[in-house]
Amino acid sequence: MAPEIILICIVVYFAILLSISYVTGKKADSRAYFIGNKQSPWYLVAFGLIGDSLSGVTFISVPGAVGNDKFSYIQIVLGYLLGYYVIAKILLPMYYRLNLVSIYSYLCQRFGSTSEKTGSFFFLISRLIGAAFRLYISVAVLQIFIFDKWGVPFWLTSSIIIILILIYTYKGGIKTLVWTDSVQSGFLLLGVILSIIVIASSLNLGFFEMFSTIKDSQYSQIFFWDWQEKNFFFKQFLSGAFIAIVMTGLDQNMMQKTLSVKSLPEAQKNIYSYSIISVVVNIFFVSLGALLFIFATTKGIQIPAKTDELFPMLALNELGIFAAIAFILGITAATFSSADSVLTTLTTSFCIDFLKINSNDESQKQKRTRHLVHISFAVILLAIIIIFREINNSAVITAVFTVAGYTYGPLLGLFAFGMFTKINIKDKFVWLVCLISPILCYILNLYSTILLGGYKFGFEILLLNGLLTFLGLYILKIRNPNKLQNT
């Protein structure tokens, strides 16, 4: 596919986002930036969360993983349903009762300022590295198929993309993102559905024939029952539940738009709707993966050693211009819907949890501070992406991303301890517990097959991480309540 056509698609895409930003950003004040004036339509938030929860990496990797893992990913997705129910019934009522803007303000009210800053810090680190990793992978795809052919350096490509994201999120914040993320979720779904249609057409399959072909293929197994393997059903189901709780319910990036809905009942409808949509979308993704492998096998096409490369290779080189456009729209939407809100939510968390800015403060000083923080995070995000490029080692970069994922365990432990116990703790030592727990889990995961008789950790390492944090906080309990004021 000609790089000029790909570039035109991306330019048109961004023109749509910038137009939305211009309209929604008019007269946007601090309250609009942080919580959308508490007027966000719940159904738009629910649909927009799809793009937020998926990234360019997901768009490529989930279909590619079907070759090795079959449909086992659906076991995790089913676990999401339980997790989202917990969010709607336990976390959201608490957030609305306390009228939170940053969810980590709860930790300050429950334990103290050190706990609040610790929770916020772990979120900042995880989201910065996670967003940079996802953007790096997606920008690398665009670099290979467009900008390398024109001699444009990677750092300039990355800078342009970050600047574009900055432009349409800078002023309107959450008020803008509710609308842009909904549009991007639409493009993402369109990309997946059109890709499925194109591949089915190339294989001369009607709808029911396509369904039967996928069902009868070697890839369609969903449930796995070997307890020692990573894809054991109960491992993945419970991991999916806790992944949803932690990476949605305890994540400022995912919760901030939900908290912009005007009432708790509407926010709960948002989560319930999103949970159903999420299952459907992920079924589309694994079905697309099966079709990609079936197409490659049928046509005698060599499957890449890195299965992540299969989707872009087929879409851009084998399936025609229509499939290429669908792929570009999908990966662009997946990439930027998961990255654009990060700048706003990082800014929110830092301003409220560290700088103690009042979200209702309309002073010029507050606005300048917020804008400076927003721009600063954009620069940091760009710097991390460029560092990844300089490292130029996929194993190292993936390891960094994996380590960043360990930061969610302490958040799980902190919130669980706060909500399910009435114990007061020595707040000033909380950061140490939250640092030690993920380090221990990372080491244990490296040597689990030796130490645990062949057992392999999957996503359930998150549960162990949270449990160790919980136990560590218990050690910090204050036996004499009179000492609380001195901690």
What is the DSSP secondary-structure string of 111-175? Answer: T-HHHHHHHHHHHHHHHHHHHHHHHHHHHHHHHHHTGGGGT--HHHHHHHHHHHHHHHHTTTTHH
Model confidence at 485, pLDDT cuts 50, 70, 90, reads very low
Looking at residue 30, its pLDDT comes to 80
- Each residue of 46-76: b (16+ CB within 10 Å) or e? bbbbbbbbbbbbbbbbbbbbbbebbbbbbbb
Tokens 């999120």 found at: 169
Which among 372, 362, 469 is positioned nearest to 421, based on CA atoms? 469
Report how far Cα 158 is from the mean position of its chain's Cα atoms: 20
Model confidence at 65, pLDDT cuts 50, 70, 90, reads confident
Beta-carbon count within 10 A of 322 CB: 14
CB distance 339 to 165 below 8 Å = yes
Tokens 């790096």 found at: 136
Least confident of 44-58, 389-403, 416-430: 389-403
Report how far Cα 71 is from the mean position of its chain's Cα atoms: 21
Q: Count the alpha carbons within 13 Å of 61 in the hemisphere toward its beta carbon.
A: 12
269 class by beta-carbon count within 10 Å (0-12 exposed, 13-18 middle, 19+ buried): middle
Would you state the structure tokens that stand for residue 291, as one six-digit string?
Answer: 């079709």
Q: Which residues contact 303 (CB under 8 A, 6 or more apart)?
A: 67, 293, 296, 297, 310
* Residue 377: its H or E element: helix 364-391
340 has a pLDDT exceeding 80: no
Looking at residue 486, its pLDDT comes to 43
- How far apart are the C-alpha atoms of 375 and 483, rounded to whole Å? 42
Tokens 């040597």 found at: 447
1 has a pLDDT exceeding 80: no
Q: Which residues contact 381 (CB under 8 A, 6 or more apart)?
A: 128, 131, 132, 135, 162, 339, 342, 343
Question: DSSP letters of 432-474?
Answer: HHHHHHHHHHHHHHHTHHHHTTT----TTHHHHHHHHHHHHHH
93 has a pLDDT exceeding 70: yes
Report how far Cα 26 is from the mean position of its chain's Cα atoms: 28
Looking at residue 324, its pLDDT comes to 79
437 has a pLDDT exceeding 70: yes
Looking at residue 487, its pLDDT comes to 42
Mean pLDDT of all residues in the chain? 86
Model confidence at 394, pLDDT cuts 50, 70, 90, reads low
* Residue 271: its H or E element: helix 264-298
Would you state the structure tokens that stand for residue 309, as one six-digit string?
Answer: 């490369």
Looking at residue 398, its pLDDT comes to 64
Would you state the structure tokens that stand for residue 290, as one six-digit string?
Answer: 């099966």
Range picked from 103-107, 124-128, 449-453 for highest mean pLDDT: 103-107
Would you state the structure tokens that stand for residue 399, as one six-digit string?
Answer: 């390891």
* 3-405 placed in CATH 3.90.79.10: no
- How far apart are the C-alpha atoms of 423 and 477, rounded to whole Å? 6
| Choice between 110 and 220, residue whose per-residue pLDDT is larger | 110
CB distance 97 to 177 below 8 Å = no
For 166-169, the CB contacts below 8 A with 24+ separation are 166/343, 166/374, 166/375, 166/378, 167/18, 167/21, 168/14, 168/17, 168/18, 168/20, 168/21, 168/340, 169/21, 169/340, 169/341, 169/343, 169/344, 169/374
Looking at residue 423, its pLDDT comes to 93
Q: Tens digits of per-residue pLDDT, 458-475?
A: 677 888 999 999 999 999
CB distance 175 to 189 below 8 Å = no
Helix (H, G, I), strand (E, B) or coil at 186: helix
393 has a pLDDT exceeding 70: no
Looking at residue 118, its pLDDT comes to 96
Least confident of 12-26, 187-201, 267-281, 324-338: 324-338
Tokens 């680190």 found at: 125
Instruction: Give the residue-averaged pLDDT of 204-220.
Output: 90
Tokens 């090795």 found at: 68
Q: Tens digits of per-residue pLDDT, 110-119?
A: 999 999 999 9
CB distance 185 to 51 below 8 Å = yes
> What is the model's pTM?
0.87
Instruction: Give the residue-averaged pLDDT of 24-31.
Output: 75
Cα dihedral 185→190→195→200 (10° resolution)? 130
- How far apart are the C-alpha atoms of 324 and 309, rounded to whole Å? 14
When computed from its CA atoms, the radius of gyration of the chain, rounded to whole angstroms, is: 22
Q: What angle do CA 33, 37, 265 make, to 5 degrees?
A: 125
* Residue 477: its H or E element: none
Looking at residue 482, its pLDDT comes to 57
Range picked from 32-41, 60-69, 312-321, 427-436 for highest mean pLDDT: 427-436
The one-letter amino acid code at 464 reads L
Domain boundaries, the chain: 3-405, 412-487
CB distance 244 to 85 below 8 Å = no
CB distance 301 to 318 below 8 Å = yes
| Choice between 165 and 6, residue whose per-residue pLDDT is larger | 165
Instruction: Give the residue-averaged pLDDT of 419-425.
Output: 93
14 has a pLDDT exceeding 50: yes
Cα dihedral 99→105→111→112 (10° resolution)? -130
Instruction: Give the residue-averaged pLDDT of 392-410.
Output: 73
Which among 313, 252, 272, 414 is positioned nearest to 64, based on CA atoms? 313
- How far apart are the C-alpha atoms of 268 and 254, rounded to whole Å? 14
